[in-house]
């Protein structure tokens, strides 16, 4: 029966060929306030795709246009709030981020393109959110921020925005980054939930197709925290958790080992794309 059915599927795909032709990422280029943004680039060695594509190329023209001028980008409000936090003294040491790091435009430039990176203290990869918490608890005498609370997303957006336009490039040679990359790859290809889908089902196998109203992108992370027109500022682990929930699986905790491994691996999958934070998506 299998063979017979496969023949049927081939017939069917001939029919499907006459379907919507819109299913390609657009041929368009992005400049933000005149700065060129890499939204399409050759994939690194060992990548499943030949080309790495920003999610921006999969969005409607109106959504794409909102990202071209920072003045139009509603995510910039969060970046401004993050800047205020950067300069706000908190904790028992009487310090702000700026007390140690001065002008973020200089000291944080490039940081958003290199994280997550190896943290020798915890012997794990660390992302911007966890680095903020590390500085708060170890340098400022302030409490760690809970996931998505207390301005965590805004401050992360501000820090990553300092790398706008810079290509993402991880150093996987530090510490055990390579084994976390492997672990993240496992998570990426593991089917979860009642719908039995992996990240790769939607963002690799079905990339470029429509799932209901959504044009499936490569699921790149270069624009996070991102501004979603329908729900506002969205952090990366919130997006991961949402995609996993949609498979009808239990959601892993934010910053859990599984999601840190996933962040490491998926960030690598976007090697060479410009940081777009705060990107604008549907």
Partner 1 sequence: MTRRMKFTLGAMAAFALSTAAMASEVAPEAVEFTDDGVVASLTGTAGDPVAGAEAFKNRKDGNCLACHANSDMSGELFHGDVGPSLDGVASRWDEAQLRAIVTNSKKIFTDETIMPGFYSLDVGEHLAEAFVGKTILTAQQVEDVVAYLGTLKD
- 144: which residues sit within 8 A by CB, 6+ positions away? 133, 136, 137
Residue 46 sits in the site that holds partner 1 (CB under 8 A): no
Q: Which is nearer to partner 1, 13 or 231 (CB)?
A: 13
Letters for 21-60 (x = contact with ligand HEC by CB under 6 A, - = none) are ----------------------------------x--x--
CA pair distance 198, 191, nearest whole angstrom: 4
CB of 278 to ligand HEC, least distance (A): 11
Q: Respond yes or no: is residue 100 known to be catalytic.
A: no
Q: Which listed range, 30-38, 40-48, 159-167, 217-225, lies at the site for ligand HEC (CB under 6 A)? A: 217-225
User: Which residues between 231 and 250 bind ligand HEC (CB under 6 A)?
Assistant: 239-240, 243-244, 246-247
Collect contacts of 188-191 with beta carbons under 8 A, ≥24 apart.
Answer: 188/262, 188/265, 188/266, 191/247
Residue 196 sits in the site that holds partner 1 (CB under 8 A): yes
Residue 159: which of 118, 120, 138, 130 has the closest Cα?
Answer: 130
CB of 245 to partner 1, least distance (A): 8
CB of 227 to ligand HEC, least distance (A): 10
Candidate residues 199, 260, 261, 275; the one interacting with ligand HEC per rule CB under 6 A: 199
* 75, 226 Cβ separation under 8 angstroms: yes
Residue 53 is given by DSSP the state E
Burial class (CB in 10 A: 0-12, 13-18, 19+), 273: buried
Residue 12 sits in the site that holds partner 1 (CB under 8 A): yes
Residue 201 sits in the site that holds ligand HEC (CB under 6 A): yes
Binding partner of residue 193 among partner 1, ligand HEC, none, CB cut-off 5 to 8 Å per kind: partner 1
Binding partner of residue 199 among partner 1, ligand HEC, none, CB cut-off 5 to 8 Å per kind: ligand HEC
CB of 12 to partner 1, least distance (A): 4
- 119: which residues sit within 8 A by CB, 6+ positions away? 125, 126, 130, 131, 134, 175
Q: Which listed range, 47-55, 170-178, 195-203, 221-229, lies at the site for partner 1 (CB under 8 A)? A: 195-203
Q: Which residue is nearest to ligand HEC (CB)?
A: 55
CA pair distance 108, 125, nearest whole angstrom: 18
Residue 256 sits in the site that holds partner 1 (CB under 8 A): no
Terminal CA-CA length for the chain? 42
- 229: which residues sit within 8 A by CB, 6+ positions away? 63, 66, 74, 280, 281, 282
Candidate residues 226, 235, 247, 279; the one interacting with partner 1 per rule CB under 8 A: 247
In terms of DSSP bridges, do strands 226-228 and 280-281 run parallel, antiparallel, or are they unpaired?
parallel
Which chain residues interact with partner 1 by CB under 8 A?
1-2, 5-6, 8-9, 11-13, 15-16, 18-20, 23, 190-198, 201-202, 205-206, 209-213, 216, 244-245, 247-250, 252
Active site residues: 243
């Amino acid at each position: 029966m299998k063979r017979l059915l496969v023949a049927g599927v081939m017939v069917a795909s001939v029919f499907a060929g006459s379907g919507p032709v819109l299913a390609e990422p657009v041929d368009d280029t992005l400049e933000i306030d005149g700065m060129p943004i890499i939204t399409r680039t050759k994939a690194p060695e060992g990548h499943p795709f030949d080309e790495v594509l920003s999610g921006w190329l999969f969005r409607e023209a109106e959504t794409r246009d909102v990202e071209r001028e920072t003045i139009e980008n509603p995510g910039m409000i969060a970046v401004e709030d993050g800047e205020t936090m950067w300069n706000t003294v908190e904790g028992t040491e009487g310090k702000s981020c700026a007390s140690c790091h001065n002008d973020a435009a200089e000291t944080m430039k490039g940081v958003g393109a290199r994280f997550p990176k190896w943290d020798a203290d915890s012997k794990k990869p660390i992302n911007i959110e966890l680095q903020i918490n590390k500085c708060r608890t170890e340098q400022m005498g302030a409490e760690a921020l809970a996931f998505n609370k207390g301005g965590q997303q805004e401050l992360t957006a501000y820090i990553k925005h300092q790398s706008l336009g810079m290509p993402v490039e991880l150093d996987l040679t530090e510490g055990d980054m390579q084994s976390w990359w492997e672990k993240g790859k496992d998570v990426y290809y593991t089917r979860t939930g009642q719908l039995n889908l992996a990240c790769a089902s939607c963002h690799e196998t079905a990339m470029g197709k429509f799932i209901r109203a959504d044009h499936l992108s490569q699921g790149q992370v270069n624009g996070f925290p991102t501004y979603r027109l329908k729900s506002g500022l969205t952090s990366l682990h919130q997006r991961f958790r949402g995609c996993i929930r949609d498979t009808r699986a239990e959601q892993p905790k934010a910053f859990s080992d599984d999601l840190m491994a996933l962040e490491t691996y998926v960030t690598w999958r976007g090697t060479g794309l410009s940081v777009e934070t705060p990107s604008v998506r549907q």
